[in-house]
Amino acid sequence: MKKFMNSAGTLAQDSLEGFVAAHDDIVMFGAGRKYVRRRILSPGKVAIISGGGAGHEPMHTGFVGYGMLDAACTGHVFTSPTPDHIQAAIRETDGGAGTLLIVKNYDGDVMNFEMAAEMAMAEGTHRVETVIVNDDIAVERSARGTGRRGVAGTLVVEKIVGAAAQAGATLDDLRVLGDAAVAATRTMGVALKGTTVPQTTRETFLLGPDEMEVGIGIHGEPGRSREKVADASAIVALICTHILDDFGSLDGQPVLLFVNGLGGTPQSELYLVFGLARAFLQARGVIIARSLVGTYVTSLDMAGISITVTHLDQRLIGLWDAPVLTAALRW
């Protein structure tokens, strides 16, 4: 498998260099070029920081900017950023009101962000809270193990919390809001082809010509089942049924419907999926109050889609609608 890169080891940093150069009106490198931050910080506002391994672009760096993240820390491909990088971002972006970390529920991310929070608070000048995103319903809830993964719903949480922070919400209020946004969000994905990791240039899992992987993760993890490829209507019905079952009931309730591409899916197919998902949910009494379609939370070049549904109330609608100016999301 051929890729545009100089070397697998420098791919993540080389990509960041180009990203910052392309969007230097919005973002800049932080101290030591260890992370990407907003070019213009807002003193007195709670800082919102997220991050994770490279390979999910435009998440997270593409969501740094007004009304969303203050900084994003990026590790190597599918590898968590180190605690010292996260700690440096906390130091630089904390404007006196504290810092909220939004972390996807993966062992490496949770461990490194928790360690960074402890290191920053040990300095005596920072207050740090954390929201863990676990929207992936393909993983069963369990008292053991990590539990559900954080996937495309992370974007929704970052947008809602970022808008509230921009409006002046306190750190405690933002943590409660973030947890509520996570609890209101469900995601599930399907892949037609695995992801090709730069270090090996091999796919993380191989599918036959008539197979699809149901319930995949964003690091190329296999899903909960391997099934025969169906038409788009059947795939959408499968995902949306699982989502509705997990919610219990959304009859008469307003939601955000977010159809996300995992890196190798054409926009035309994403809109096709959105139309089918919208019709499926509306036929079951769900009100599609807001929508988002595009390639935002990827797994390198995986050919796949995910569907995210967030149960909205009037406050969440207002925060979703609030102005945002980032490289990847703006209105």
75 and 162 housed in the same domain: yes
Residue 74 within any structural domain of the chain: yes
- In single-letter form, the type of residue at position 248 comes to G
23 and 161 housed in the same domain: yes
203 and 292 housed in the same domain: yes
83 and 204 housed in the same domain: no
Are 33 and 74 spatial neighbours (Cβ–Cβ below 8 Å)? no
41 and 167 housed in the same domain: yes
Catalytic residue among 56, 60, 76, 242: 56
Residue 57 within any structural domain of the chain: yes
Are 166 and 45 spatial neighbours (Cβ–Cβ below 8 Å)? yes
Residue 310 within any structural domain of the chain: yes
147 and 53 housed in the same domain: yes
Q: Where would I find the H helices in 104-219?
A: 107-122, 153-166, 171-183
Q: Number of folded domains in the chain?
A: 2
Element (H, E) at 228: strand 225-228
- Domain housing 59: 8-184+321-326
88 and 111 housed in the same domain: yes
Q: Domain holding 266: CATH number?
A: 3.30.1180.20
Using a 10 angstrom Cβ sphere, with 0-12 exposed, 13-18 middle and 19 or more buried, the burial of residue 203 is middle
Indicate the SS3 state at residue 251. coil
242 is catalytic: no
Q: Domain holding 58: CATH number?
A: 3.40.50.10440
Residue 190 within any structural domain of the chain: yes
Spell out the residues 6+ positions from residue 321 whose beta carbon is closer than 8 angstroms to its own: 290
- Kindly report whether the peptide bond that precedes residue 60 is cis, defined as omega within 30 degrees of 0: yes
76 is catalytic: no
145 and 174 housed in the same domain: yes
Catalytic residue among 60, 85, 126, 219: 219
Residue 261: count other Cβ atoms within 10 Å of its Cβ: 23
- In single-letter form, the type of residue at position 285 comes to G
Per-residue pLDDT of the chain (331 residues; tens, 9 = 90+): 678 888 888 889 999 999 999 999 999 999 889 899 999 999 999 999 999 999 999 999 999 999 999 999 999 999 999 999 999 999 999 999 999 999 999 999 999 999 999 999 999 999 999 999 999 999 875 444 578 999 999 999 999 999 999 999 999 999 999 999 999 999 999 999 988 888 776 777 788 899 999 999 998 887 788 999 999 999 999 999 999 999 998 999 999 999 999 999 999 999 999 999 999 999 999 999 999 999 999 999 999 999 999 999 999 999 999 999 999 999 9
Using a 10 angstrom Cβ sphere, with 0-12 exposed, 13-18 middle and 19 or more buried, the burial of residue 29 is middle
Distance CA 64, CA 70 (A): 6
169 and 190 housed in the same domain: no
- The DSSP secondary-structure symbol of 105 reads S
Tokens 């102005």 sit on residue: 323
Residue 3 within any structural domain of the chain: no
62 and 165 housed in the same domain: yes
193 and 174 housed in the same domain: no
85 and 216 housed in the same domain: no
- Kindly report whether the peptide bond that precedes residue 126 is cis, defined as omega within 30 degrees of 0: no
